[in-house]
Amino acid sequence: MILGVDLGTSSLKVVAIDADGSLAAWHEASYATASPQRGWAETHPDAWWNAALEAVRAVPAHVRSQVRAIGLSGQMHSLVLCSDVGVPVRPAILWSDSRSKTALAAYRTLDEAQLNRLANPIVAGMTGPTMAWLAEHEPAALARARWALQPKDWLRLRLTGEAATDPSDASATLLYDIIEDRWAMEVVQHLGLPASLLPPIRPSAAVGGTLLARPAEALGLQRGLPVVTGAADTPAAAYGSGLVSPGSAQLNMGTGAQIVVIGDPQRRAVNPTTHWFRSALPSQRYTMAAMQNAGLALQWVRSVLDMSWEELYGRFDPEALPRDLVFLPYLSGERTPLLNPDARAAWVGLGRHHGRQDMAAAALAGVALAVRDGFEALRSMDLHVERMRFTGGGSSDPVFSQFVCDVLGVPLDLTDTPHASALGAALLAAEGPSGPQADAGPGSKRAPVRRVLTPRSRTKAARELMARYAEVREELYPGADGVASREDA
């Protein structure tokens, strides 16, 4: 058995797969995100560790006794400052935290060559800006820390006593030279950050250490198991669902939504609106549109309207959408295409004739249309996407999934790949030191398509809502680069 652990934003998932990649067991443990000040998002790593104990222990003992390796994946961009043995200096600052917007000015003084090497939009919530914010506001925290780690790398440190990261997580920090595949030390120096906090970089499928006695006993696993370096959750999910061929694309809709296009298009711009990161495969890169508010926004709407998930999705009718009510889902700001940490959510056009169900329907439609904005940003780069895989919790409801397909205007392949990030982590561990291959490894064979969605002609209600959404978004947040206004886009 191989164990895959995905340390997500709101929960930690564990899967166990057997020798041919079949799912033998899985479990999920949740934790809360704290917001001690407006725009802040934090979780104490102790909550992650407790969730890991719960989730791994929930795997049947006879399965745990057969585990021979552990793979890791985790949320991207978040920052954990800790001691040399993983004791946190302060709570982790998450990717959805916008406090670092005040630190972006230092990035804007970088020269064009340095910006080109970062090859990504300069946005709040990334590791580099967060560290720069801490250097100004909490310098003592940086001084007490030995390591500045990504969440999955902190977990591996707790498991093995060894600190490292992989290219897929490092490239998403705004501290990484994606052209030369190394830490961008010139940028680190420019920001006045201690380079000694950055861990060594190892391949995603390389062994990153072995399981220590105390965590092994706590988890009910065998001491000395190899723990691979692992990958960030988005590239791990891509690998877990078989997205490995250049040009292939995937929409994942979880807490946030990401559209990933695999390959190395060599597109570098000083002010891009989409991301360009390393994948879990050696030397491979991917382009990504990142929307911060998908399940995050819908969870908030569900809570405010006092609805169950079944009620939220179950009453969604694309034929009866309120055309005069628009929901912008920017609860935590937005990346693609707005690049605006101060963007905020709104129901626009709310009247006395609207009820809870109208508000819920507008929210679901708004999330789908925000994803369409990200898709159009990719298309504006001449990335020709003819179809996409569709994964994540947002793909589970057939009516909503079809609506997403309709507004995007391309076929969507729904894959039978539950817990894709954790599965990808396990598959990386199964590959071993030889590393995954784009045309061979288990990830290329483990993603059966359970259903194909074909875009239908948009109804009058949908067309009118799309036009109204674009009008409201442009009025409140004008000039979003890459967003098409074409009705047939």
pLDDT tens by residue, 132-183:
999 999 999 999 999 999 999 999 999 999 999 999 999 999 999 998 999 9
Query: Tokens for 85?
Result: 């043995």
- Confidence category of residue 50, pLDDT binned at 50, 70, 90: very high
Q: Biggest alpha carbon distance in the chain?
A: 64
Instruction: Decide: 2 and 446 in contact? Cβ < 8 Å.
Output: no
Considering only CA atoms, which of 324, 408, 405 is closest in space to residue 361?
A: 324
The answer to whether the CB of 46 falls within 8 A of the CB of 105 is: no
Q: What is the mean pLDDT of residues 359-380?
A: 95
pLDDT for the residue numbered 443: 43
Q: Is the pLDDT confidence value at 210 over 80?
A: yes
Give the end-to-end CA distance of the chain in Å, rounded to a whole number: 46
Q: Is 347 exposed, middle or buried (0-12, 13-18, 19+ CB in 10 A)?
A: middle
On the question of a cis peptide bond just before residue 337, with omega within 30 degrees of 0, the verdict is: yes
Class of domain 244-416+457-489: alpha beta
Q: How does DSSP assign 263-300, residue by residue?
A: S------SS-SSEEEE-SSTT-EEEEEEES-SHHHHHH
The average confidence (pLDDT) of the chain is: 90
Residue 482 in this model has a pLDDT that exceeds 50: no
Residues paired with residue 275 on neighbouring β-strands, in sequence order? 288
Per the listing, tokens 């994803």 go with 371
Residues whose CB falls within 8 Å of the CB of residue 168, separated by 6 or more in sequence, listed in order: 204, 231, 232, 234, 235, 236, 277, 278, 279, 280
Going by C-alpha positions, the residue among 278, 228, 299 that lies closest to residue 11 is 299
The C-alpha R_g of the chain, in whole angstroms, comes to 21
Which residues, 6+ apart, have CB-to-CB distance to 155 below 8 Å?
A: 5, 7, 48, 49, 52, 72, 74
CATH class of the domain whose range is 2-235 = alpha beta
pLDDT of residue 277: 94
Residue range 263-273: mean pLDDT, rounded: 64
The Cα 170–Cα 413 span in angstroms is 30
Helix, strand, coil percent content, the chain, rounded in steps of 5: 35, 20, 40
pLDDT for res 73: 97
Mean pLDDT value across residues 348-372: 96
**102-126: buried (b, 16+ CB within 10 Å) or exposed (e) per residue?**
ebbebbeebeeebbbbbbbbbbbbb
3-state SS string over 380-433?
CCCCCCCCEEEECHHHCCHHHHHHHHHHHCCCEEEECCCCHHHHHHHHHHHHHH
- Among 51-55, 259-263, 300-304, 367-371, the minimum mean pLDDT is found in 259-263
Q: Which pLDDT does position 93 carry in this prediction? A: 98
In the structure, what pLDDT confidence band is assigned to residue 486 with cuts at 50, 70 and 90? very low
Asked if the model's pLDDT at residue 438 lies above 70, the reply is no
Element (H, E) at 143: helix 139-144
487 or 374, greater pLDDT: 374
- Does the pLDDT of residue 35 top 60, yes or no? yes
pLDDT at 192 over 60: yes
- Token pair 């006879």: residue: 62
Q: What is the reported pLDDT for 483? A: 53
- How high is the pLDDT of residue 394? 85
Phi/psi of residue 276, nearest 5 degrees? -135, 105
pLDDT confidence of residue 442? 46
Looking at the chain, the domain(s) classified CATH 3.30.420.40 span: 2-235, 244-416+457-489
